[in-house]
Amino acid sequence: SILIIDFGSQVTQLIARRVREAGVYSEIAPFNNAKAAFERMQPKGIILSGGPSSVPDEGSPRAPDIVFESGLPILGICYGQQVMMQQLGGKVESGEHQGGGEFGRAMLNIKENCTLFDGLWSVGDEHQVWMSHGDKVTQLAPGFDVVATSAGAPYGFVADENRKYYGIQFHPEVAHTPGGAKLIAHFAHKVCGLAGDWTMAEFRATKIAEIRAQVGEGRVICGLSGGVDSSVAAILIHEAIGSQLTCVFVDHGLLRMNEREQVEKLFRDHYNIPLIVVDAEQRFMAGLDGVTDPEKKRKFIGGEFINVFEEEAAKIGGADFLAQGTLYPDVIESVSFTGGPSVTIKSHHNVGGLPERMNMQLVEPLRELFKDEVRILGKELGLNDLFVGRHPFPGPGLAIRIPGEVNKERCDILRKADAIYLEEIRNAGLYDKIWQAFAVLLPVRTVGVMGDARTYDSVCALRAVTSTDGMTADIYPFEAAFLSRVSTRIINEVKGINRVVYDYTSKPPGTIEWE
Ligand code: XMP
């Protein structure tokens, strides 16, 4: 495996992606916790990430000594290159002293041969790379030679072949460095000598063994949301421990069209996994009665979900473990230089708090995976493309897509409109191009005319966004004809809606959901 030491770059996760794409397992650890990660992982190579700090500044982060004492190959990227130079006896100067840095596209000129790009790049070549640095190396550490340069970085690519230390000022992990992925793969395979045979099949086998070892004879309970993550986690755990696993699916009446039936069919019929479906629509609707504040909705639904789950767990005599589909982006301890508490925009609903309350340990077999890796694992476990490619759906469900008061009647109206919208998106072949698409039912009535009669009904808003992680998002630019078709169908087929609008707001400043 390869350990990636994080100095706070925005794109550290991409380094991990590139290494895994090369068939080598990798993990990220923050610089101030890297020693522990090193001892646990026993890696075969180390990558030092970029970061926002300035090496000459007092108190700026350093790599732990163990990195240089280990005798392992090291690749330093941007700040990682600079910090390596500084720690090994070279010099770095801040941009302020030498007039500006280099940002964006740059051309790298290859001057000498180097093991890191042997067979990829040759002396005399010019390659496009992506730079983003204010500071730069101004004096090499002993043992290093320059092997490539750019206009703004005379020490753009340095190497100490004896120690297998490489320092590069540009970012090979981003798409704007077209040869970057190959360079990272080369580091893993040729420099670190790793085989590149890390596959999902192997991950599946390893995880199954781990789950068996962790759980022993214990009982595991898993809350299913109908989404990809909890489903894949449950199927994997079931493969490991069979009937020691019980799944609970809470139908809170805030699900999409046919969602409950799909989950039942998949778990009971296809996988034969013990499944308890709780019909909790009435108690959720009763609790939501008169609640219009978005945070109050979220808090009620989150709390009630835990109540229902706890009751079901008690009925089956309790469990020793709670399974969750937690993913890697949720557990990476990222380096934060901003400090201070961040503002709560929305209270996201998950089953946090439950393990302590019920005295259960967590089983989280997907903790090391990125979302698209979970999809690959899902396919490995026999899930079809349609299921693994599903758009995300929030825990509070339709309640946060019905601004104002939520009741069964309004949920039914929204379910119909949403199903038509998604059907049209699938028919147009657009589903996989969109991160998330859904309909919203507004608490506004407007006047219309249908046939010769006046109507006075609700407005439906359509939302569709592209995103990579849900943190930022852009609107999906549908063609006008597509939107007209969806609008006509919804107004004709869904009683209670007489006007359709398209939400043209990116995130930020909007959020993806409306509440
Ligand atoms: P926002 O609306 O915050 O949404 O821009 C970002 C992504 O998170 C999803 N989302 C949730 N997912 N529980 C979840 O499991 C929640 O409470 C929740 N709220 C929002 C949202 O659907 C989008 O994909």
Q: What are the pLDDT digits (tens) for 392-415?
A: 999 999 999 999 999 999 999 999
> Which ligand 1 atom is the nearest neighbour of the CA of 436?
24
Report which protein residue has its CA nearest ligand 1's atom 9: 394
**Amino acid code (one letter) for 14:** L
From the CA of 450, how far away is ligand 1's center (Å)?
36
**Ligand 1 pocket: which residues have CB below 6 Å?**
346, 348-349, 392, 394-396, 436, 470, 507, 511-513
Q: Which of 133, 171, 186, 349 is catalytic?
A: 171
| Angstrom distance (rounded) from CA 350 to CA 155 | 48
For CATH 3.40.50.620, list the domain ranges present in the chain: 201-388
285 residue type, one letter: M
Q: How many CA atoms are closer than 13 Å to the CA of 59, on its beta-carbon side?
A: 1
114 annotated active-site:
no
Whose CA is closest to atom 14 on ligand 1?
A: 394
CATH 3.40.50.620 fits 201-388, yes or no: yes
pLDDT in tens, 262-296: 999 999 999 999 999 999 999 999 999 999 999 99
Give, for 28, the enclosing helix (H) or strand (E). Answer: strand 26-30
CATH class held by domain 407-502:
alpha beta
Catalytic, out of 102, 173, 424, 515 = 173
Q: Determine the residue of 371, 391, 513 to mutate for testing ligand 1's pocket, defined as the one with the most ligand atoms within 8 A of the Cβ atom.
A: 513
Q: From the CA of 510, how far away is ligand 1's center (Å)?
A: 13
485 vs 70, 92, 274, 480, 482, CA distance in Å?
Answer: 63, 60, 42, 9, 5
Q: What is the model's pLDDT at position 483?
A: 98
Closest C-alpha to ligand 1, atom 21: 394
Give the tens place of pLDDT for each residue, 350-408: 555 677 787 889 999 999 898 889 999 999 999 999 999 999 999 999 999 999 999 99
Could you give the C-alpha distances from 456 to 296, 321, 389, 401, 448, in angstroms and in order? 29, 52, 38, 21, 6
DSSP assignment string, 251-281: E-S-PPTTHHHHHHIIIIIIS---EEEEE-H
2-191: in CATH 3.40.50.880 = yes
Average pLDDT along the chain: 93
Which regions of 60-199 does DSSP assign to beta strands (E)?
Answer: 74-77, 91-93, 102-110, 126-133, 136-139, 145-150, 153-160, 165-168
User: Does the ipTM exceed 0.90?
Assistant: yes
Contact 304, 276 (CB under 8 A): no
- Going by C-alpha positions, the residue among 179, 160, 57 that lies closest to residue 115 is 160
Q: In the chain, which segments carry CATH 3.30.300.10? A: 407-502
- Distance between CA atoms of 291 and 278, rounded to whole angstroms? 23
Coil, helix or strand for 356? helix
Our answer to whether residue 173 is catalytic in this structure is yes
Q: Which residue has the tokens 């629509």?
A: 281
User: What's the predicted TM-score (pTM) here?
Assistant: 0.83
- 238 a catalytic residue: no
Distance CA 238, CA 106 (A): 51
What is the C-alpha end-to-end distance of the chain, expressed in Å? 42
Domain with CATH 3.40.50.880 in the chain: 2-191
Q: How far is the CA of 394 from the centre of ligand 1 (A)?
A: 5
Distance 333 CA to ligand 1 centre (A): 20
CB-based contact 427:481 (threshold 8 Å):
no
Report the number of secondary-structure helices (H) and strands (E) in the chain: 17, 20
The beta-strand segments (E) located in 186-274 are 220-224, 245-251
